[in-house]
């Protein structure tokens, strides 16, 4: 911690013993902290509203009120102020009860100076992280959110403006972006803010519905239209009437069906398979693709006339690696979602962990980030998610990765385990590549059992399709 940072942070100390107050004050000031001391706990509580301390230290046993009462009153003013309680010998049970009630930590008399300053540093780091999270939350509430989308980058703000303007029209929209960037969120936002919001929003995942079923899913069918059609079924086009049809991964749609869909959009009516009557349609179509249209058209995966029919308003969503300023906001948003569902997961991200996540390439984009945050929140012990809680598969792909940069942020045992994990993963991957996926040959060369390799493959999820056991 820099001296400048210490001089800007205030520690409030409460004790009924003037000598103890003097000793603590001298220790804090010698370490360049600002400090205010109080013999009267009520006076100290009243001062919190005006002096805004970053940490409060209080004796657990005071003449008029106890430290738990002091902590409760201070948290009524600002629940994010870490409170450290000092207790006498034999009062550990009371101190543990204080932790359960919201104390940041406790120290037992006589207090060792080195341990005292270490706890202060941790409490202030916790305070700074809470302040940062609260600032991010306020920013989200004010200017960096559009429905369920998060972003303060110029690109995302531009997209928010396009959505706002587009929602006031019925024009077709084509959304482009890598998998996991939030194409469906954009489509849903356009629908939600349009005059069609009270009508259906129907999603057609062109890539996941089998080719032999997509036609009947889109257009529906009459009873007896084909074997197995025991009753009539409404198609998704009809279901979307009055609302919005979202065609996700449009280029995965068969070209013949693209032709039929184009005709439906031009004529604004449809007919079920095996049917004779036409149904008039009033739908808005939003399409999306993770492929660039020029390449898809050249590869004969997308009809050019359908593309121009749908691409009235194009929206390009950037990959997460091109909007790294949005990562802290997104993380804070996901953390808030998780803590709302699971209140016991009250955790914050350490600065070095956040810095690492901002240099990772994020091939899975926002979806990958969300999954990682949920995983770290669930598996981390304690209040702080450190760089040691980030999976090694992420750390080793961070730009400028260097073990020395984070090694000493972990206790010896945890750092050792992290390096062993890094070695095992890379050794097994290289070994399997060397022997073309032959587990038996790899095991013989490494002089270990085949089951050991298989266990490590499963542990690190490296059982890829090109890695097979040819024994």
CB-count burial class (<10 Å; 0-12, 13-18, 19+) for 115: exposed
Strands 313-316 and 279-280: unpaired
pLDDT of the residue at 141 = 53
CA–CA separation, 31 and 9 (whole Å): 12
pLDDT of the residue at 198 = 95
pLDDT of the residue at 195 = 95
pLDDT of the residue at 447 = 87
Regarding the domain delimited by 3-140, which CATH topology (the fold level of the hierarchy) does it fall under? Rossmann fold (3.40.50)
| CATH, domain range 148-318 | 3.40.50.300
pLDDT of the residue at 137 = 63
Q: Does domain 320-407 have CATH number 3.40.140.10?
A: no
SS (H, E, C) 273-337: ECCCCCEECCCEEEEEECCCHHHHHHCCCCCHHHHHHHCCEEEECCCHHHCHHHHHHHHHHHHHH
CA–CA separation, 411 and 93 (whole Å): 27
pLDDT of the residue at 407 = 58
CA–CA separation, 402 and 391 (whole Å): 15
The tally of CA atoms less than 13 A away on the side-chain side of residue 17 is: 9
Domain parsing of the chain, residue ranges? 3-140, 148-318, 320-407, 411-471
CA–CA separation, 80 and 211 (whole Å): 55
CA–CA separation, 84 and 82 (whole Å): 7
The secondary structure of 119-137 as a DSSP string is: HHHHHHHHHHHHHHHHHHH
CB-count burial class (<10 Å; 0-12, 13-18, 19+) for 239: middle
Contact between residue 352 and residue 406 where contact means Cβ atoms under 8 Å apart:
yes
Per-residue pLDDT of the chain (471 residues; tens, 9 = 90+): 344 555 678 999 999 889 989 999 999 888 888 999 999 999 999 999 889 899 999 988 888 888 889 999 998 988 889 999 988 755 667 767 777 788 888 888 888 888 888 889 888 888 887 777 676 666 555 556 678 888 888 899 899 999 999 999 999 999 999 999 999 999 999 999 999 999 999 999 998 888 778 999 999 999 998 888 889 999 999 999 999 999 999 999 999 999 999 999 999 999 999 999 999 999 999 999 999 888 999 999 999 999 999 999 999 999 999 998 899 889 988 988 888 888 778 788 877 788 889 888 999 999 999 999 999 988 887 777 877 788 877 877 775 555 555 555 566 776 677 777 777 877 887 888 788 888 888 888 888 888 888 888 887 777 543 433 443
Selection from 253, 255, 214, 209 nearest residue 237 by Cα: 214
CA–CA separation, 14 and 71 (whole Å): 11
pLDDT of the residue at 391 = 83
pLDDT of the residue at 242 = 96
On the question of a cis peptide bond just before residue 110, with omega within 30 degrees of 0, the verdict is yes
**Domains 3-140 and 148-318 fall in the same CATH topology:** yes
């Amino acid at each position: 911690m820099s001296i400048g940072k210490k001089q800007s942070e205030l520690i409030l100390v409460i004790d009924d013993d003037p000598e103890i107050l003097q000793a603590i004050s001298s220790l804090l000031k010698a370490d360049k902290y600002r400090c205010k001391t109080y013999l009267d706990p009520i006076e100290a509580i009243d001062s919190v509203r005006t002096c805004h301390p970053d940490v409060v230290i209080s004796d657990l046993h005071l003449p008029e009120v106890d430290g738990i009462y002091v902590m409760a009153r201070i948290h009524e003013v600002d629940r994010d102020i870490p409170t450290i309680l000092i207790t006498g010998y034999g009062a550990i049970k009371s101190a543990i009860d204080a932790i359960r009630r919201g104390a940041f930590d406790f120290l037992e008399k006589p207090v060792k100076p080195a341990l005292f300053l270490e706890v202060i540093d941790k409490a202030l780091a916790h305070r700074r992280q809470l302040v940062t999270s609260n600032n991010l939350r306020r920013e989200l509430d004010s200017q960096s959110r559009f429905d369920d989308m998060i972003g303060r980058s110029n690109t995302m703000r531009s997209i928010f403006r396009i959505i706002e303007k587009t929602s006031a029209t019925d024009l077709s929209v084509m959304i482009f972006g890598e998998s996991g960037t939030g194409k469906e969120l954009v489509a849903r936002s356009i629908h939600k803010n349009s005059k069609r919001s009270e009508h259906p929003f129907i999603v057609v995942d062109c890539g996941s519905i089998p080719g032999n079923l997509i036609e009947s899913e889109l257009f529906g069918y009459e009873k007896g239209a084909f074997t197995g059609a025991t009753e009539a079924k409404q198609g998704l086009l009809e279901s979307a009437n009055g609302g919005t049809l979202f065609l996700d991964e449009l280029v995965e749609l068969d070209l013949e069906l693209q032709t039929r869909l184009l005709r439906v959009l031009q004529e604004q009516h449809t007919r079920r398979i095996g049917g004779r009557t036409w149904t008039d349609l009033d739908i808005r179509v939003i399409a999306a693709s993770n492929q660039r249209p020029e390449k898809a058209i050249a590869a004969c995966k997308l009809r050019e006339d359908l593309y121009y029919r749908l691409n009235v308003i194009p929206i390009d969503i950037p990959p997460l690696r091109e909007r790294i300023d949005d990562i802290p906001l997104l993380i804070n948003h996901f953390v808030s979602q998780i803590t709302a569902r699971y209140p016991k997961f009250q955790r914050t991200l350490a600065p070095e962990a956040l810095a690492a996540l901002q240099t990772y390439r994020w091939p899975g984009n926002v979806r990958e980030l969300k999954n990682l945050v949920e995983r770290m929140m669930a598996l981390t012990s304690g209040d702080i998610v450190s760089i040691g809680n980030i999976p090694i598969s992420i750390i080793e792909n961070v730009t400028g990765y260097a073990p020395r940069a984070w090694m000493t942020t972990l206790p010896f045992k945890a750092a050792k385990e992290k390096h062993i994990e890094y070695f095992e993963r890379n050794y097994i991957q290289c070994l399997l590549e060397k022997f073309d996926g032959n587990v038996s040959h790899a095991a013989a060369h490494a002089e270990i059992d085949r089951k050991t390799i298989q266990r490590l493959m499963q542990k690190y999820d490296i059982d890829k399709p090109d890695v097979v056991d040819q024994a």
